[in-house]
């Protein structure tokens, strides 16, 4: 399997705070790559370095043949290739659902408006919101908004989608509808990097799990290895704490 995203020895400092310390990992095509760990462990920063919302302090990140971290990197192209789904959805409130989905293809990719709309309708059907295309974000529930946000990311036809705690702002019912959509994507072979606290979902959908603590990768492996046979003591302690909760 060719690798989709390769993170090599990446470190990141914010002034005197170390956010990432020598992080290396490899995401293969079709992987559902889970990053778990307590808050402040650098998970979100790592995601934001992959699409260059943040710049790394040292190390390299590759998306296939494109060096993300290079000084000559085509940042726009990299962002076209990496969809991102945020904890707070970040839909554009002044645009309807369908406009939210079609704007980036139209402006960034110069897709024909008709074509962009047809594609958006297909995506809305996929996330189960065909009847909401004319609605504004504030008329939707949180779960619906997040599903629109996923459709919006999909509309750019990305090589990988980064999920930054996609269900943390949702109550359990809505969490399920979002996770269902993500599960469908995983089954269809979408490459996904997911920062999440949904351990049950990680067990069910992940192909690989990374546990991060204190800006470092502590342990990496299959869901079975991490959840059922964690080797490191810190991983064991973390899992005991979250699974008991």
Partner 1 sequence: MAKINIKTKIEITDGVLIPGRDDASLFSAWRIAFYGAIFMLILLPVLSPKPYWDLLKFVPDGILRTFQVTILSIFFALVIGLIIGLGRISRNVFINRISTVYVEVIRGIPLLVQLFYIYYALAKFVRISDITSAVIAIAICYGAYISEIFRAGIQSIPKGQMEAALALGFTRTQAIFRIVLPQTLKVVLPPIGNEFIALLKDSSLVSILAVSDLLRRGREFASTSFDYFETYTMIAIIYLILTLFFSRLVAIMEERMKTDAKQS
CA distances from 165 to 32, 86, 111, 191 (A): 14, 7, 30, 16
3-state class of 4 per DSSP?
A: strand
- Site for partner 1 contains 86 (CB under 8 A): yes
Question: Of the ranges 25-33, 83-91, 171-179, 188-196, which one interacts with partner 1 (CB under 8 A)?
Answer: 83-91
Question: Of the ranges 105-113, 175-183, 188-196, 222-230, which one interacts with partner 1 (CB under 8 A)?
Answer: 105-113
Query: How many degrees, rounded to 5, is the angle at CA 165 between CA 159 and CA 167?
Result: 110
24-53 residues near partner 1, rule: CB under 8 A: 51, 53
Measured CA to CA, the distance from residue 167 to residue 150 in angstroms comes to 12
Q: What is the dihedral of CA 149, 154, 158, 161, to 10 degrees?
A: 50
Point out which residues pair with 192 in neighbouring strands. Answer: 32, 161
User: How many C-beta neighbours within 10 Å does residue 139 have?
Assistant: 12
Question: Of the ranges 21-29, 55-63, 87-95, 176-184, which one interacts with partner 1 (CB under 8 A)?
Answer: 87-95
Which of 13, 26, 57, 136 touches partner 1 by CB under 8 A? 136
52-71 residues near partner 1, rule: CB under 8 A: 53
Give me the residues that bind partner 1 (CB under 8 A), please: 51, 53, 76-77, 79-80, 82-84, 86, 88, 90-94, 103-104, 107-109, 136, 138-139, 152-153, 156
């Amino acid at each position: 399997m060719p690798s989709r995203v390769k993170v090599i020895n990446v470190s990141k400092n914010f002034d005197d705070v170390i956010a990432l310390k020598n992080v290396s990992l490899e995401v293969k095509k079709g992987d559902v790559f889970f990053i778990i760990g307590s808050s402040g462990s650098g998970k979100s920063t790592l995601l934001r370095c992959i699409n260059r919302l943040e710049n790394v302090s040292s190390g390299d990140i590759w998306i296939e043949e494109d060096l993300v971290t290079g000084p000559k990197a085509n940042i726009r192209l990299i962002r076209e290739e990496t969809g991102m789904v945020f904890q707070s959805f970040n839909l554009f409130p002044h645009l309807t659902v369908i406009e939210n989905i079609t704007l980036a293809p139209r402006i960034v990719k110069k897709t024909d408006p008709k074509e962009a709309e047809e594609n958006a309708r297909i995506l809305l059907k996929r996330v189960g919101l065909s009847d909401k295309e004319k609605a504004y974000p504030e008329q939707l529930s949180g779960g619906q908004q997040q599903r629109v946000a996923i459709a919006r990311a999909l509309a750019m036809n990305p090589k990988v989608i980064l999920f930054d705690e996609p269900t943390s702002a949702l109550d359990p019912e809505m969490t399920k509808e979002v996770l269902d959509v993500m599960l469908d994507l995983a089954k269809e072979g979408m490459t996904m990097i997911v920062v999440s606290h949904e351990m049950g979902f990680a067990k069910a959908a992940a192909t690989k799990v990374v546990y991060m603590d204190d800006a470092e990768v502590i342990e990496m492996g299959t869901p079975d290895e991490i959840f059922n046979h964690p080797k490191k003591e810190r991983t064991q302690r973390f899992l005991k704490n979250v699974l008991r909760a």
